[in-house]
Amino acid sequence: MKRHLISAADLSRDDAVLILDTAEELARLADRPIKKLPTLRGRTVVNLFFEDSTRTRISFEAAAKRLSADVINFSAKGSSVSKGESLKDTALTLEAMGADAVVIRHHASGAPHRLATSGWIKGAVVNAGDGTHEHPTQALLDAFTVRRHLRPEASGVGQDLAGRRITIVGDILHSRVARSNVHLLSTLGAEVTLVAPPTLVPFGVESWPCEVSYDLDTVVGKTDAVMMLRVQRERMNAAFFPTEREYARRYGLDGDRMSRMPEHAIVMHPGPMNRGMEITAEVADSDRCTAVEQVANGVSIRMAVLYLLLGGNESAVAAARTEESK
Ligand code: NCD
């Protein structure tokens, strides 16, 4: 694996399967009364959040703490960033505090790449979502969720998603989750189809490893998982569709559409959900919707990523046992 995790496109099939398998091993911890491993004792993880987040920030914090790392949470609101401090000066401050890993979310696409290649900090950089570019740990936790549901044999360890059909629906144009998922799921062998109104399909999508459709009804009957995306109003500077009602009617998932999915197929959502827009409350609350499970899986995936980037090269749980017996 590379030293940083900036883009899902940087992961080979073997890297991705290693992360999924390590997460699988670490997920077993969640069933133990004491969830903590001593693996990253003495290491410092900084969560550097320039953009709002609920799930991702809490999840990285829980992951680092379960591995016994020291965690520093930085959010731009209420910091000197509101006084105009640059990314460089913020990074130099973190470096002075001895960060072994920096998890960064930023409204500018490319900010994590800049941090990783600038030489301002020495630690590993993990992209927790940059602008409309990428969100690789979200794609990993999504792949983990799909693998658990669709390859239940021995939790799917060692396996990829060959032949699985995954449909990603909605605001693809502004979605870093969609970009990362297209790369990762195709690397893992899945067949990905994007469904969106033509105005929300990115320019240059022909070169992406996926199919594109404008009609959800023709796709739902032939899919193993449907991933619904939030309409990202905060990134929209124009009218991309006539009305919310029209959007929900053509591209939303309601109970009727869900009933036309194959029986084993699951409904995914990265959160936050706009109930009534891309997904109805009936679907969001149904037992086919994995949104809450995705959040739980996110902790295991982020533990695996931090463990592997901070130098773990043996089985994560075995390494912890050796530490515990010292
Ligand atoms: C996504 C994000 O921030 O990119 N959410 C998440 O990380 N769970 C998707 C979104 O904001 O709609």
Looking at residue 281, what is its pLDDT? 98
Q: How far is the CA of 320 from the centre of ligand 1 (A)?
A: 32
Same domain flag for 157 and 243: yes
Arithmetic mean of pLDDT, 164-174 = 97
Question: Is the distance from the beta carbon of residue 136 to the nearest atom of ligand 1 less than 6 Å?
Answer: no
Looking at residue 164, what is its pLDDT? 95
Arithmetic mean of pLDDT, 286-294 = 97
**Structural domain includes residue 3:** no
Note the pLDDT tens digit of each residue in 88-134.
Answer: 988 998 899 899 999 999 999 999 999 999 999 999 999 999 999 99
321 in a labelled binding site: no
Arithmetic mean of pLDDT, 171-179 = 97
Same domain flag for 28 and 66: yes
Note the pLDDT tens digit of each residue in 250-282.
Answer: 999 999 999 999 999 999 999 999 999 999 999
DSSP symbol at 44: E
Question: Is the distance from the beta carbon of residue 129 to the nearest atom of ligand 1 less than 6 Å?
Answer: yes
249 in a labelled binding site: no
Same domain flag for 151 and 223: yes
Looking at residue 165, what is its pLDDT? 97
**Structural domain includes residue 98:** yes
Nearest atom in ligand 1 to the alpha carbon of residue 138 is 7
Note the pLDDT tens digit of each residue in 34-72.
Answer: 889 999 999 999 999 999 888 999 999 999 999 999 999
Cis peptide before 197 (omega within 30 of 0): no
Same domain flag for 149 and 277: yes
Same domain flag for 34 and 83: yes
The whole-chain average pLDDT of the chain stands at 91
CATH of the domain at 210: 3.40.50.1370
What distance, in Å, lies between the first and last C-alpha atoms of the chain? 28
The whole model's pTM is what? 0.94
Same domain flag for 44 and 126: yes
pLDDT over 90 for what percent of the chain?
76
Q: How far apart are CA 86 and CA 39, in angstroms?
A: 33
110 in a labelled binding site: no
Higher pLDDT, 184 or 1: 184
Looking at residue 196, what is its pLDDT? 97
Continuous H helices in the chain:
13-27, 55-66, 87-96, 111-117, 136-150, 176-187, 216-220, 244-251, 255-259, 281-284, 291-309, 316-325
**Structural domain includes residue 282:** yes
Q: How far is the CA of 181 from the centre of ligand 1 (A)?
A: 12
Q: How far is the CA of 33 from the centre of ligand 1 (A)?
A: 30
With a cut of 60, say whether residue 323 has pLDDT above it.
no
Looking at residue 216, what is its pLDDT? 98
Residue 250: how many CB atoms within 10 A of its CB?
A: 16
Ligand 1 pocket test, pick from 135, 227, 229, 302 with the greatest ligand atom count within 8 Å of Cβ, gives 135
